[in-house]
Amino acid sequence: MLSYWFYPNPGSADYLSPKVLILFSVLAVFFLASFALSHWRRKHQNSITRKLTKSWPGALRIFAIVGVVLVVCRVEDIQFFAMRILWVFWLLALTAFVLLQAWLWKKMHYTIVQRITVDDPRAKYLPGKGK
């Protein structure tokens, strides 16, 4: 089982293979989405949202470029960079990044609700906390 994941030169692939084309399509979407996110981030008004989304475009570009390198290495039979385990590491890194960003979003993206205090003239006559 380990030889399946760590074999340095796993079978040949072709650029016209459906798996390769799907991977290139997903990575192209990542790359184009990075520019769309960058544009959206610049236009956004909320400073907390801009701060939290600062790393998203760059991370998407890095994941896309690393993915393209891995696909090309697999198709061109470049040993050790064509190992299947590198895709597992890539997927784990992507999952960790998404989970970390979701946790940070939940933790830090909040809005301050203005408290409305009502000055009730009857309050001075009502029983309250001891003074």
Helix (H, G, I), strand (E, B) or coil at 83: coil
Tally of residues, the chain: 131
- What is the per-residue pLDDT for 130? 57
List the end-to-end C-alpha distance of the chain, in Å, as a whole number.
Answer: 75
Residue 131 lies in a domain: no
Tokens matching residue 88: 């597992």
Residue 56 lies in a domain: yes
Residue 78 lies in a domain: yes
Handedness of CA 87, 32, 69, 60 (dihedral sign): negative
DSSP 130: -
Q: Which domain holds residue 61?
A: 2-125
**pLDDT tens-digit profile, the chain (131 residues):** 777 778 777 777 889 999 999 999 999 999 999 999 999 999 988 888 899 999 999 999 999 999 999 999 999 888 888 888 999 999 999 999 999 999 999 998 777 788 888 888 887 888 876 55
Residue 72 lies in a domain: yes
Residue 79 lies in a domain: yes
CA count, 13 A, side-chain hemisphere, 37: 19
Residue 104 lies in a domain: yes
Residue 130 lies in a domain: no
Inter-helix orientation angle 56-75/18-43, to 10°: 160
- Nearest CA-CA partner of 7 in 70, 80, 74: 80
What is the number of structural domains in the chain? Answer: 1
Tokens matching residue 92: 């784990």
Amino acid in the structure at residue 39: H
Residue 24 lies in a domain: yes
Q: What's the predicted TM-score (pTM) here?
A: 0.78
